[in-house]
Chains A and B, each alone.
Chain A
Amino acid sequence: MRLPNLAALVIAAILVAATGAARAQDAFRDVLPGLGGGFNQQAEAAERLGASADPRALPALRALSEGLLLRAPGGALIADGLDLATGAAADPAGAEPVRINNRVRAALRGAMGRLQLVSPDRAERAAAAEAVFRSRSADNIAPLEVALAREADPALRARLELALGASRLISPDPAARAAGVAALAATDSAEARSALLEARAANPDLAAPIAAAVEAIDRRLAMRRYVELGFQGLSLGSVLLLAALGLAVTFGVMGVINMAHGEIIMLGAYATWGVQELCRQHAPGLLPYALPLAVPVAFLFTAAVGAALERGLIRHLYGRPLETLLMTFGVGMMLQQSVRLLFGAQNREVISPAWMQGTLALPGGALVTQNRLWVILFALAVLGVAMAAIRLTRFGLEMRAVVQNRRIAATQGIRTGRVDAMTFAFGSGIAGLAGVALSQIDNVSPNLGTGYIIDSFMVVVFGGVGSLVGTLVGAVTLGVTNKLIEPWAGAVLAKIAVLVGIMLFIQRRPKGLFALRGRAADA
């Protein structure tokens, strides 16, 4: 098996030498046959083609690396039905694929990277900058300098500078190595950090600048991590805020413990999914706007459920909070089981519109996901609307009057029963809005709500019952605290620590952060 193969190789090599001599004037044609030779020849040819700026080189190297390069019995190299040397159509019949090994593969990667660095296609240049950075060779310095001089895109320039710095680190020239350290010190990339650490052993003379550079990078990375953690905390806080706001209205204002609150959030998420499916079936043109359309639908739907719940069941139990708690728990159970039987237990997918997808880079390099950013904005908007409704509208005025003194409010002509129903509907509608937001970042399934009910109560109790500002402060504090503890304690312990922290906190402030004062506090 091996002998005929070797013979073929020898013959091929002779042929290559013969044809190469005939066309000495064309560097590309000169080097090309090496790609069909032995592994050493292939690697060498790849290096030389990579250093050339010939536009024919890249397709040839790519064909070889992807196993699409064929060698005809005559020694001609064929890819895509074309003879690479002449560019003429060639018959691939009888041709065999050229094989490569890992060393050739590495050489090909580097060479292709260098060629792609100056490609007119931006995506190709970006990929090349990565590849060159990873291949780590001092030979890359020259092509990188060329590419950097031509590059205008700032993001790509940063990647090229990173690659150049890393390449300089392994240059034989001590001055270039020192320049490489200085260049890498100015970046904020973990890759630059590891390149510097790799170079430390080989460069005892540069130990001090490398240490300083690593420290500078660490400082920037830590900063970015804190920004990202802070954002995650805000994001969790906004989710808690949305989940707790409705509860702050029903529990805080009315004193009604609604254990079905989580299920009402879940109904809001299902309403969102329902709007999306209706759009998909009847008005595909509206599909990108399904989410904004779902906002009023979910609000009205869950508000109606809430009003029915209040008028039908809860009002019979006013003044008996513990019974209300148990009864609403039962209602929640039935709602959850109904949804499970109607729509199945599996997760339903609610798609994010294009304008909510993707990530956003903050100054300093921290990355934030767009949909989480939207949830934060949405939570703040809902909070604003809720506060405005309570402070500025007639309904809000009546609601506050009933909270402060139900009997006197009734004597003033306020229909307290109607106000109760509307308050409960309002709180439930806000829970429905929370469901719309959660459909973007959580699984829409029948038990979506169960995970939020305890956290929501904690937020309301921590922030102070009856105060929406307290709910905001409570939600953000708990969210950020949770995320700051998480990196060194793990998600579960962070959650437990927060729960224990709240238990200890209400020792000092049993009425929460923003306690009601005066008569309302005794209610």
Chain B
Amino acid sequence: MSLSLPGADAPARFTAAEWRRAVLLAALAAMLAVPLLNLLPEGSALRTSDFLVGLAGKWTCYAILALAIDLAWGYAGLLSLGHGAFFALGGYAMGMHLMRLIGPRGVYGHPVLPDFMVFLGWTELPWYWWGFGSFPFAMLMALLVPGLLAGIVGWLSFRSRITGVYFSILTQAMTYALMLAFFRNDMGFGGNNGFTDFKELLGMPLSARGTRVALCVASVLALAGSYWLCARMTATKFGRVLIAVRDAESRVRFLGYSPTAVKLLVFVLSGMLAGLAGALYVPQVGIINPGEFAPGASIEAVVWVAVGGRGTLFGAALGAISVNAVKTWLTSFAPDLWLFALGGLFVAVTLFLPRGLVGLVRRAPQ
């Protein structure tokens, strides 16, 4: 797993590992600089715009989601077309906390119930909303609920040896079913409007610049932490087994390992990472609705990973950020073309660039 960049061809002053570390640190510094430079006084030449900070925060969350998908797909061979569901569930957990924090400032001014519940004529908070007034509890749920769902779906699938495209279709059906469920008003999650109109988080108003910079920085740090976790995990013996499961599951089983346990662990961890990404995403975009569960959203996220280069953590994050940068740029002047571009990206990457952008840079084949 040595990463060689073009510079490494020159008489080596750095080893490949050192190069890699340098690139990663530079990327981290650049990503931290975007929100922090926003704090410079207005008019300063180096100051980044509010718009860019908003985008950077969003893209960083997408990059965490891409890492989660890459961990399952690139390393364990589990192509999940339902990671948007884990992302959305994490987002909903955070959204529930933010809704509770609105308190009496809602349109109806009810001290406890969110507006949509008052509108539906509910008189008390449903049991599954209990505890979401507490930030640690909400964050815990943002990780545990996606993890639990991933655990159930993964356990049901892996124990009956559902693999390959069957697993993909199953996860797609999962997110589709959840989307239908969350569209229902009587689920208690705001129906098709979802949650919005948030006011504050941890006592800081969400509209303040400082809050948004802090959220963006938190996302970058979360991405760095997730990256570190995934890198450490895939570098250990466990990571080797994981890749072996991806490439020859039967052989791994014959050698005495349990692919079911390995895959389940990775899938649960991946689901929790996606939940974390969703939880960071919602306060920055200010809305969560059932559209996040749409199968198309999940499959789009898979393409970020494919574009960047699956099986490399750097590629996943790079793919998420670059595809979304192109999307923002293209939709601003030719929204009709974006779907063509995205569709073309699917085709081009699978046919011509199977190892993604990272594969262009990397010299030796795997």
Interface string of B248-268 (1 = CB under 8 A from A): 000000000000000000000
**Contact of A257 with B165 in the complex, beta carbons under 8 Å:** yes
Segment from A169-177, A331-339, A412-420 that makes contact with B: A331-339
CA A144 to CA B159, docked complex, whole Å:
71
Is A317 on the interface with B (CB-CB < 8 A)? yes
A327 with B347: CB separation less than 8 A? yes
Quick check: is B362 within 8 A (CB to CB) of the other chain? Answer: no
Give the residues in chain B near A333, CB-CB below 8 Å: 339-340, 342-343, 346
Residue A507 at the chain B interface, CB threshold 8 Å: yes
A377 within 8 A of B: no
Given contacts A313-B347, A323-B354, A337-B336, contact A496 B180 (CB under 8 A): yes
Which residues 160-203 of B have a CB within 8 angstroms of A?
160-162, 164-166, 168-170, 172-174, 176-177, 180-181, 183-184
Establish whether residues A457 and B336, one from each chain, have CB atoms under 8 Å apart when the complex forms.
Answer: no
Chain B residues whose C-beta falls within 8 Å of the C-beta of A324 in the assembled complex: 350
Known: A325-B165, A333-B339. Is A454-B173 also a contact (CB below 8 A)?
A: yes
Chain A residues contacting B172 (CB-CB under 8 Å) are 454, 457
In the bound assembly, the distance between CA atoms of A329 and B349 in angstroms comes to: 12
Report A-chain residues with C-beta under 8 Å of the C-beta of B336: 337, 341
Check: B28 CB closer than 8 A to any chain A CB.
no
Closest to B187 in A: A492
Residue pair B162, A506 in contact (C-beta under 8 Å): yes
Interface 1/0 per residue, B324-356 and A, CB below 8 Å: 000000000000100110111111011100100
Say yes or no: is A326 at the interface (Cβ < 8 Å to chain B): yes
Q: Does B271 contact A (CB under 8 A)?
A: no
Please name the residue on chain B nearest to A338 by beta carbon. Answer: B340
Q: Which of these binds chain B: A64-72, A179-187, A497-505?
A: A497-505
Q: CB distance A317 to B351 under 8 Å?
A: yes
> What's the Cα separation between A507 and B156 when bound, in Å?
7
Nearest to B336 among chain A residues (CB) is: A341
Question: Which residues of B lie under 8 Å from residue A313 when comparing CB positions?
Answer: 347, 351
Interface members, chain B 297-335 (any A CB < 8 Å): 299, 302-303, 306
Decide if A461 is an interface residue (CB 8 Å cutoff): yes
- Taken residue by residue from 134 to 177, chain B's Cβ proximity to chain A (1 for < 8 Å, 0 otherwise) reads as 00000000000000000001001001111011101110111011
B346 and A502 contact, CB distance less than 8 A: no
Please tell me if B66 contacts chain A, counting CB pairs below 8 Å.
no
Contact of A510 among B160, B165, B295, B345 (CB under 8 A): B160
Whether A517 sits at the interface, judged by CB under 8 Å, is: no
**Which residues of B sit under 8 angstroms from A323, Cβ to Cβ?**
350, 354
Contact with B along A309-330 (1 / 0, CB 8 A): 0000100110011111111011
User: Is A350 an interface residue when CB atoms closer than 8 A count as contact?
Assistant: no
Tell me, in angstroms, the Cα distance from A329 to B295 when the chains sit together: 11
Measured CA separation A325–B302 after assembly (Å): 11
Interface centre among A257, A331, A334 (most CB of B within 10 A): A334
Chain A residues lying within 8 Å of B73, measured Cβ to Cβ, are 322
Partner of B343, one of A257, A317, A334, A504: A334
Taking CB atoms and an 8 Å cut-off, the chain A residues in 484-512 that contact chain B are 492-493, 495-496, 499-500, 502-504, 506-507, 510
Q: Which of B302, B342, B351 contacts A316 (CB 8 A)?
A: B351
Q: A458 on the interface (CB 8 Å rule)? A: yes
Q: Are A454 and B295 in contact (CB under 8 A)?
A: yes
A316-B351, A495-B180, A496-B177 known; A326+B346 contact, CB < 8 A: yes
Q: Is there contact, CB below 8 Å, between B346 and A510?
A: no
Q: Is B79 an interface residue (CB 8 A)?
A: yes
Nearest-Cβ distance from residue A262 to partner chain B, whole angstroms: 11
A341 to B156, CA, bound (A): 42
B contact residues around A503 at 8 Å (CB): 153, 156, 170, 173-174
| Nearest CB on A from B26, distance (A) | 31
Contact B181 A321 (CB under 8 A): no
Q: Which of A245-278 contact B (CB under 8 A)?
A: 257
Q: Are A499 and B162 in contact (CB under 8 A)?
A: no
Please report the C-alpha to C-alpha distance between residue A211 and residue B159 in the assembled complex, in whole angstroms: 55
Say whether A326 contacts B180, CB under 8 Å.
no
With A333-B343, A454-B172, A492-B181 as contacts: A327 and B351 at CB distance below 8 Å: yes
Bound complex: CA A316 to CA B165 (Å)? 18
Residues of A within 8 A of B339 (CB): 333-334, 336-337
- Residue of B79, B161, B177 near A325 (CB, 8 A) is B79
Assess whether A322 is in contact with B79, with CB atoms less than 8 Å apart.
Answer: yes
Q: Which residues of A contact B351 (CB under 8 A)?
A: 313, 316-317, 327
A502 touches B173 (CB 8 A): yes
Determine the distance from Cα of A506 to Cα of B180 in the docked complex, in whole angstroms.
22
Whether A321 and B164, one on each chain, are in contact in the complex, defined by CB atoms closer than 8 angstroms, is yes
B248 CB to nearest A CB, Å: 15
**B163 to chain A: closest CB distance in Å?**
10
Bound: A237/B162 CA distance, A: 26
Separation in Å of the B352 CB from the closest CB of chain A? 10
Q: Which residues of B contact A495 (CB under 8 A)?
A: 177, 180
Instruction: Chain A residues near B349: list those with CB within 8 A.
Output: 326
Check B173–A507 contact: CB distance below 8 A: no
Question: B330 to chain A: closest CB distance in Å?
Answer: 13
A430 CB → nearest B CB, Å? 20
**Distance, CA A498 to CA B271, complexed state (A):** 24
Complex Cα distance A492/B192, Å? 13
Q: Which residues of A contact B350 (CB under 8 A)?
A: 317, 320, 323-324, 326-327, 330
Whether the Cβ atoms of B303 and A510 lie closer than 8 Å is no
Residue of B161, B166, B173, B346 touching A327 (CB-CB under 8 A): B346
User: Are B184 and A499 in contact, with the CB atoms below 8 A?
Assistant: no
Residues in A with CB closer than 8 Å to B159 are: 507
Residues on A with beta carbons closer than 8 Å to the beta carbon of B168: 257, 322, 325
Q: How far is the CB of A336 from chain B (nearest CB, A)?
A: 7
A324 to B351, CA, bound (A): 9
A residues in contact with B160, CB < 8 Å: 506-507, 510
- State the CA gap A503–B155 with chains docked (Å): 11
> 9 A-B contacts, Cβ less than 8 Å apart?
A321-B165, A322-B168, A331-B343, A331-B346, A461-B169, A496-B181, A503-B156, A503-B170, A506-B170
Top 6 nearest A-B pairs by Cβ distance?
A330-B346, A333-B343, A334-B343, A337-B339, A327-B350, A330-B343
Show the binding face of B for A, using Cβ within 8 Å: 73, 79, 153, 156, 159-162, 164-166, 168-170, 172-174, 176-177, 180-181, 183-184, 295-296, 299, 302-303, 306, 336, 339-340, 342-347, 349-351, 354
